[in-house]
Structure 1
Amino acid sequence: ATAAQPAAGGTRNAPAHSAPPDPAAAAFPLECGPVEAVVQKTATGDLDGDGHPETVAAVRCDAGMGTPPTGVYVLTRDTDSGKPRVVATLVAPEDRHSVTDLTVRDGAVRATLLGYSSADVPNCCPDLTEHAKWQWRNGTFVEDTPSQARTV
Structure 2
Amino acid sequence: MQPLGPDLPHTHPRPVHWLATATALAAVVAGAAVFQPSDAKATTDTPTTAAAPGAGTPGAPGVKAPDPTTADYPVDCGPETVDVTDRASGDLDGDGRPETVAVVRCHSATGTPPSGMYVLAQPDGKGKGEAGRPRIVATFLDPEERMSVTDFALRGTKVSATLLGYSSQQVPRCCPDLQRKVNWQWQDGKFVLKALPVAGSV
Q: Return the TM-score normalized by structure 2.
A: 0.64
- Does 1 or 2 have the higher relative contact order (CA < 8 Å, sep 6+)? 2
Q: Which amino acid aligns with 1:5?
A: D
SS in 1 for 2:139: strand
Q: Which is strand-richer, 1 or 2?
A: 1
SS in 2 for 1:24: helix
Q: Which amino acid aligns with 1:137?
A: Q
Q: Does 1:34 align with 2:84?
A: no
Q: Which amino acid aligns with 2:87?
A: T
Contact 2:180-2:196 within 8 A present in 1 as well: no
Within 1, Cα distance between the matches of 2:104 and 2:144? 13
- 1:82 Cα offset (Å): 5.7
Instruction: Please list the CA deviations of residues 51-78 of structure 1 after superposition, one character each: whole Å capped at 9, or x if unmatched.
Output: 1111000000012222100000000012
Q: Which amino acid aligns with 1:2?
A: Q
Instruction: Please list the CA deviations of residues 109-137 of structure 1 after superposition, one character each: whole Å capped at 9, or x if unmatched.
Output: 11122211222211011112221100112
Contact 1:47-1:54 within 8 A present in 2 as well: yes
Identity percentage of aligned residues:
50
Given the alignment, which residue of 112, 120, 145 partners 2:195?
Answer: 145
Contact 2:72-2:133 within 8 A present in 1 as well: no
**RMSD (CA atoms):** 2.0
| CA distance 1:57–1:32, shift in 2 (3 Å) | same
Given the alignment, which residue of 39, 43, 56 partners 1:5?
Answer: 39
SS in 2 for 1:59: strand
Q: Which has the larger radius of gyration?
A: 2
Paired residue total: 142
